[in-house]
Structure 1
Amino acid sequence: MFGRLETSKHIIPDETECSSRRDALSKLILLPVLSSTPEFSWAATDSPFSFQQAESSQLAVGLLEARVTENVLSPPPYGMEVPDIIYPSWFQGTWQISSRTTDVQAPCGAALFGGNATLERAKNEIGTTLQYDARFISTTTSTGAIVADRYYNVQSIAKAAMGEFSVMDIPVATPNKLTCVLLPKGSPRMLQVDLIALNRRQETISDLQFDCSEVTREIVAPVNNNNAPPQQQPQSNNNNNNNNNPILKEIETTSLYTYNPSKNEITCQQRSATFLLPSQTSPIAYKMWEAARGRPIDTRFYQVRYTKKG
Structure 2
Amino acid sequence: MRRFLVLIIAITILLSDSPAWATPLEERLNSWPDWSLPAPLSRPSNRDDLIYPDWFSGLWQVESRDLDAPADEPLIHQALFAPDARDRLVGDRSFNAMAIGRALLGEQLLRVEDDPESANRQIAWLKGDLRLETTVTGRRQETPDQTSFLADELVLQILHAPGPPRLSRIETLSAYHRCGDEICAEQWQGRYASPGESLRDLAVAHHHYQLRFTPLPESAPSA
> What TM-score, normalized by structure 1, do the two folds share?
0.57
Q: Does 1:266 align with 2:183?
A: yes
| Residues paired across the two proteins, number | 193
Post-superposition Cα deviations, 1:30-64, rounded to whole Å, max 9, x if no partner, equal xxxxxxxxxxxxxxxxxxxxxxxxxxxxxx76322
Q: Does 1:137 align with 2:82?
A: yes
When residues 169 and 61 of structure 1 are mapped into structure 2, their CA distance, relative to the original with a 3 A threshold, is same
Larger Rg: 2
Match of 1:24 in 2: none
CA root-mean-square deviation: 2.3
Post-superposition Cα deviations, 1:111-157, rounded to whole Å, max 9, x if no partner, equal xxxxxxxxxxxxx686441100010001232xx21100112112211
SS of the aligned residue for 1:205 comes to coil
Matched letter for residue 51 of structure 2: I
Partners of 1:277 and 1:169 lie apart in 2 by: 23
Partners of 1:250 and 1:177 lie apart in 2 by: 14
Partners of 2:99 and 2:134 lie apart in 1 by: 17
Range with greater deviation from structure 2 (207-216 or 166-175): 166-175
When residues 303 and 253 of structure 1 are mapped into structure 2, their CA distance, relative to the original with a 3 A threshold, is same
Which of these residues, 97, 101, 116, is aligned with residue 158 of structure 1?
101
CA contact (8 A) 1:275 1:296 kept: yes
Q: Give the % identical residues.
A: 29
1:183-194 to 2 correspondences below 5 Å: 183=127, 189-194=128-133
1:103-118 to 2 correspondences below 5 Å: 103=68
1:170 shift after superposition: 2.2
Partners of 1:166 and 1:307 lie apart in 2 by: 25
Higher helix share: 1
Match of 2:202 in 1: 295
Bigger relative contact order, structure 1 or 2 (CA pairs below 8 A, ≥6 apart): 1
5+ residue gaps, structure 1: 1-59, 104-123, 184-188, 223-242, 280-285
SS of the aligned residue for 2:67 comes to strand
Partners of 1:74 and 1:91 lie apart in 2 by: 30
Higher strand share: 2
5+ residue gaps, structure 2: 1-20, 218-223
When residues 253 and 126 of structure 1 are mapped into structure 2, their CA distance, relative to the original with a 3 A threshold, is farther
